[in-house]
Structure 1
Amino acid sequence: MPRAVWLLVIGMAVNVTGSSLLWPLNAIYIHDHLGKSLSVAGFVLMCNAAASVIGNLVGGSLFDKIGGYKSILLGIGISLVSVIALIFWSGWPYYVLFLTVLGFGSGIVFPSMFAMAGTVWKEGGRRAFNAIYVAQNLGVAIGAALGGFVASYSFQFIFIANALMYVIFLFIAGFGYRNLQTMEERKVSKEKEHEWQKHRRNLQALFILCLGYLLCWVAYVQWQSTISTYTQEIGISLKQYSLLWTINGAMIVLGQPLLNGIIHAFKKPLKHLMIAGMVIFILSFVTASFANGFFGFLLAMMILTLGEMLVWPAVPTIANQLAPKGKSGLFQGIVNSTATGGRMIGPVLGGLLVDLYGMMVLFILVTSLFIFSILTTIFYDRRLKDRHTMMKKAS
């Protein structure tokens, strides 16, 4: 990889490590330390996720207008201020306010990072987004592991450690990303605006693709919500459940380079890889529906991880291919906000379904969501192909 991509990878790993110190423990802190109900904790987390959705869209637009360097620094600045505020004001209701602001600030950063990865290594294609994806998972694995250890001493140390990670990220971005932006992404001339009018079909294709992406995330996040509760009910310990996510992260970090080599050898289109990944998702949930012990869920998790390794990096790659000049930030913002929206809707929808109808109905619905996602993936570029065929005939 080029040096520029390595800088983005390191920055993303540091950024996600910092945020992962806090997000797995939010509900515990709100419930056990602030004395609020789990429903209130869920509402607070929804506020954080909703602010992140808005931040993703704002961050993508800012990338196109002022460039990735300034956008990322702005997002880091907002996040750092909110985390420092939590060190001094972590009681109720200040926690809600600053956690929501933190969601907005971190949301600004992510689409700019993805858009920048696509612009500094255009010839890298899927590999640039794979690298960012692996960095994210490495950060989640390190942050989640350290978070529990640090919180065992004091939650105040979590906020301090999170602020420290943002300071490090600010240092990396401030000195490393200054020369990564290009004039192409910072200036949108009238000619490019005219070009944008011709590329509205690309935006429509992205919306269709992201509809399926949203449904995949609604289904996937059940592993972190309803399925996690279900595993406790059937006698799987919290330690064993945590081990499943450790294996998930290890498989991604260690297995993605091997998978990339296989994908490169067979040269399959991204659409085919996504469809294969969604079929694997279905197989994972079918396996989980029949599992009655740890090893059944371990197998389901390993299958799930293979599916996400095919699907998650493919969507920002396709968005980068669809984006006309000067709009890559907007397209990445849509992708990131879609993923965040799925993570926000999924736990609420899954919890209602399980409470009303039970786990088996949830597994059936999840399978249906993946089938619909396969259909949107098959047809998202149909109009683009028709237009390309018509242009070839006309010429």
Structure 2
Amino acid sequence: MPRALWLLVIGMAVNVTGASFLWPLNTIYIHEHLGKSLTFAGFVLMLNSGASVIGNLYGGSLFDKIGGYKSILFGVGVTLVALIGLTFWHDLIPYVIFLTIIGFGSGVVFPSMYAMAGSVWKEGGRKAFNAIYVAQNLGVAVGAALGGYVASYSFQLIFIANSFMYTIFFFIAVFGYRSIQVNSGNHTSVIQENKAIKNYSRLYALLILSIGYLLCWVAYVQWQSTIASHTQDLGITLKQYSLLWAINGALIVLGQPIMNNVVKYFAKTLKLQILIGIFIFIASFAVVSVAQQFTAFLTAMIILTIGEMLIWPAVPTIANDLAPKGREGFYQGIVNSTATGGRMIGPLLGGLMVDLYGMSMLFIVLMSLFVVAIFTTILYDRKLKDSNSIVTQAS
């Protein structure tokens, strides 16, 4: 990999390590420590994710206008200020306010990171996005593994650790990303390229694909919200729950290189890769719907991890392939905001379903969402005249 991509990978790993001290435990903190309902916890996480959606779209456009370096510094700066505030004030109202600001700031960062990754190693294809994806999950593994143990002693230490890791990320960005010149100086708009019809067809294709992507995230995020609380009700400890996420991240770090080689033999196209991933998601939620013991949840998490290794890197890769020159940041912003939209809708929808109808009805709804995602994935590129040359190859 190019040196510039290594810097992005290291920065992403540090960033997500800090965030992973907190995000798996948000619902537990709000529900167990602040004494609020799952519906309210879902509403708070919705505010966080809603702000992140705005940050994703703004950050993607900002990348196209002023470049990745300045965009990332802006997002990191906003997030770091909010994290420092959260360290000192984390009662209910400050928690909601700071968590919302954190959502916006971190939302600005991610599309720029992905757009920069695609720009600094164009010949690498999806390998650049796989590298960023693996870095994220290395952060998940380390942060989640430590987070559960730290939180069992004090949530105050969780807030401190999050702020400390993001401070490190800030300095990596300041001193490491200035030299990565993939900014907007020579970028052109869609209209300037005079390819409006072609580019709009690509945009529509991405939006259709993103519908299924959003629905997959709505289901996936239940592991961080309703399923997290459900494990507590079943007597599974906080350390065991955090261990699930540590295993998730470790499997991705260790297994993604193997998956990259294996997938070439059973998924010749990115579309087929995503479809297989969705069916694996369905199997995972079928297991977790009847799980009562930690080992069953562990089995479901392992299956889930295999599915996400197929889906999550594939969608940004397709977005990068579809993006016209100068609009890479905007297209990555759409993908990131879609994922964040799923994280926004998921906790609130899940909380309402569980509070009103119970966990069994929630799993029925989630299975229905996966069915819709299968159809949108099958149909997204039907109207692309040049889809065979743009988005079908998985290599």
TM-score, structure 2 normalization: 0.89
1:245: how far off? 2.3
Q: Which moved more, 1:58-67 or 1:33-42?
A: 33-42
* 1:157-184 residue CA offsets vs partner (Å, 9 max, x unmatched): 4333322222211221122212223256
Quote the residue 1:172 is aligned against. Answer: 172
Please tell me the residue identity of whatever aligns with 1:364: I
1:324: how far off? 0.4
Q: Please list, as runs of the form range in 1=range in 2, the aligned pairs for 1:40-55 lying within 5 A after superposition.
A: 40-55=40-55
Q: Please list, as runs of the form range in 1=range in 2, the aligned pairs for 1:217-366 lying within 5 A after superposition.
A: 217-234=217-234, 236-264=236-264, 268-366=268-366
Q: Percent identity?
A: 69
Q: Higher helix proportion, which one? A: 1
Task: Measure, in 2, the Cα distance between the counterparts of 1:190 and 1:312.
Answer: 27
Task: Measure, in 2, the Cα distance between the counterparts of 1:9 and 1:231.
Answer: 32
Q: Which moved more, 1:32-41 or 1:263-272?
A: 32-41
2:66–2:184 CA contact under 8 A, matched in 1: no
Quote the residue 1:392 is aligned against. Answer: none
1:204: how far off? 0.4
Quote the residue 1:59 is aligned against. Answer: 59
Larger radius of gyration: 1
In structure 1, the residue corresponding to 2:179 is in which secondary structure?
Answer: coil
CA pair 38-287 structure 1, distance change in 2 beyond 3 A: closer
In structure 2, the residue corresponding to 1:93 is in which secondary structure?
Answer: helix
2:57–2:108 CA contact under 8 A, matched in 1: yes
Please tell me the residue identity of whatever aligns with 2:220: Y
Please tell me the residue identity of whatever aligns with 2:224: Q
Quote the residue 2:163 is aligned against. Answer: 163
Task: Measure, in 2, the Cα distance between the counterparts of 1:291 and 1:87.
Answer: 35
Q: Which moved more, 1:174-183 or 1:52-61?
A: 174-183
Task: Measure, in 2, the Cα distance between the counterparts of 1:119 and 1:150.
Answer: 38
Quote the residue 2:7 is aligned against. Answer: 7
1:192–1:325 CA contact under 8 A, matched in 2: no
Quote the residue 1:393 is aligned against. Answer: none
CA pair 74-196 structure 1, distance change in 2 beyond 3 A: farther
1:274–1:314 CA contact under 8 A, matched in 2: yes
1:75–1:108 CA contact under 8 A, matched in 2: yes
1:222: how far off? 2.2
CA pair 120-32 structure 1, distance change in 2 beyond 3 A: same
Structure of greater relative contact order (alpha carbons < 8 Å, 6+ residues apart): 2
Size of the alignment, in residue pairs? 389
Task: Measure, in 1, the Cα distance between the counterparts of 2:225 and 2:190.
Answer: 47
1:209–1:376 CA contact under 8 A, matched in 2: yes
Q: Which moved more, 1:238-247 or 1:44-53?
A: 238-247
Task: Measure, in 1, the Cα distance between the counterparts of 2:204 and 2:163.
Answer: 39
2:139–2:249 CA contact under 8 A, matched in 1: no
- Is the counterpart of residue 102 in structure 1 residue 102 in structure 2? yes
- Is the counterpart of residue 200 in structure 1 residue 193 in structure 2? no
After the TM superposition, list the runs of 4 or more consecutive aligned residues in structure 1 that deviate by more than 6 angstroms. 386-389
2:137–2:253 CA contact under 8 A, matched in 1: yes
Q: Which moved more, 1:300-309 or 1:53-62?
A: 300-309
Quote the residue 1:216 is aligned against. Answer: 216
Task: Measure, in 2, the Cα distance between the counterparts of 1:288 and 1:388.
Answer: 37
1:30: how far off? 4.5
1:208: how far off? 0.2
Task: Measure, in 1, the Cα distance between the counterparts of 2:236 and 2:147.
Answer: 22
* 1:257-310 residue CA offsets vs partner (Å, 9 max, x unmatched): 111122245671111100111111112222333444333332222111111100
2:202–2:323 CA contact under 8 A, matched in 1: yes
CA pair 143-236 structure 1, distance change in 2 beyond 3 A: closer
Task: Measure, in 1, the Cα distance between the counterparts of 2:316 and 2:333.
Answer: 10
1:65–1:186 CA contact under 8 A, matched in 2: no
2:41–2:348 CA contact under 8 A, matched in 1: no
Task: Measure, in 2, the Cα distance between the counterparts of 1:370 and 1:28.
Answer: 26
CA pair 349-153 structure 1, distance change in 2 beyond 3 A: closer
1:190: how far off? 7.8
Please, what is the CA RMSD of the aligned residues? 2.6
1:355: how far off? 3.7
2:213–2:338 CA contact under 8 A, matched in 1: yes
Task: Measure, in 2, the Cα distance between the counterparts of 1:214 and 1:311.
Answer: 12
1:141: how far off? 1.9
* Structure 1 stretches lacking a partner, 5+ long: 390-395
Task: Measure, in 1, the Cα distance between the counterparts of 2:35 and 2:365.
Answer: 34
CA pair 222-41 structure 1, distance change in 2 beyond 3 A: closer
1:32: how far off? 6.0
CA pair 93-223 structure 1, distance change in 2 beyond 3 A: closer
TM-score, structure 1 normalization: 0.89
